[in-house]
Structure 1
Amino acid sequence: MNCGLGGIFGVGKQASSMSKFVVLSYTPVGATLVYSWVGKGIVYDTGGLSLKPKGFMAGMKRDCGGAAAILGAFYALVTQEFSQTLHAILCLAENAIGPKATRPDDIHTLYSGNIINSTFISTTL
């Protein structure tokens, strides 16, 4: 069930673990401002059925750096009792190869209602 999140669930259709859309919130008493951060976390990006060339596959576990940075910053500020409201949104998926993988030119409806072609879906979620 993709809950209308066709982009992230399209990327992770083949993975052994279902894609996750994680929202972390911290609201201290007296907060007057709200900060929201979003991080992309493709935990391993093979390119799916559009398999990346051999030389480009190594290091694809680093494609989760955006989500990792957001999680680290969120944790640091919460443990320091930051005075304002924080939200960390993490889009987590694995772009794996297999019969259920998103195909080039598949169409996905994003939560916004926008419709995209899956050619570069892991970069447009």
Structure 2
Amino acid sequence: MTVTKTRTARSTWRPRLVAVVAVAVVNALVALAGPLIGADMVVTSPGQEPAPIDWPAFAIFSAGFALLGWAALLLVQRVLGADRGRLVWTIVAVLITVLMFLPPLAVSASTATAIVLELSHLVVAAIVIPVFWRTAGD
């Protein structure tokens, strides 16, 4: 007797939704903890006035980019199939994570603030990539 395991839409959306919420919450906490390590949470883009970055922005942008990643995964799996789609999505997600280390270096910010910004990118990658990869198989 052979037992086959099928993945339903329900079994994939719940962990992905939890991952989206988790990155929003964890990055909000990272932003709130920033001042504890001396981060003033102010950045200055070239040619612009200094702008504070508050914790809701961390939560909103983290969740937004996680949702974009989810949509991209669904699209690439539809076009390339489950296994190839997962592989391509994972490679692109890792490359985007690496590239996301550049923008905080292009603005003027305290070292502690830059560390918080970089850490926020790692949080998204560390939560979203494994969860989406695991739920995208087969």
Q: TM-score, normalised by structure 2?
A: 0.31
Q: Which structure is higher in helix share?
A: 2
Q: Relative contact order (C-alpha < 8 Å, sep 6+): which is higher?
A: 1
Q: Which structure is higher in strand share?
A: 1
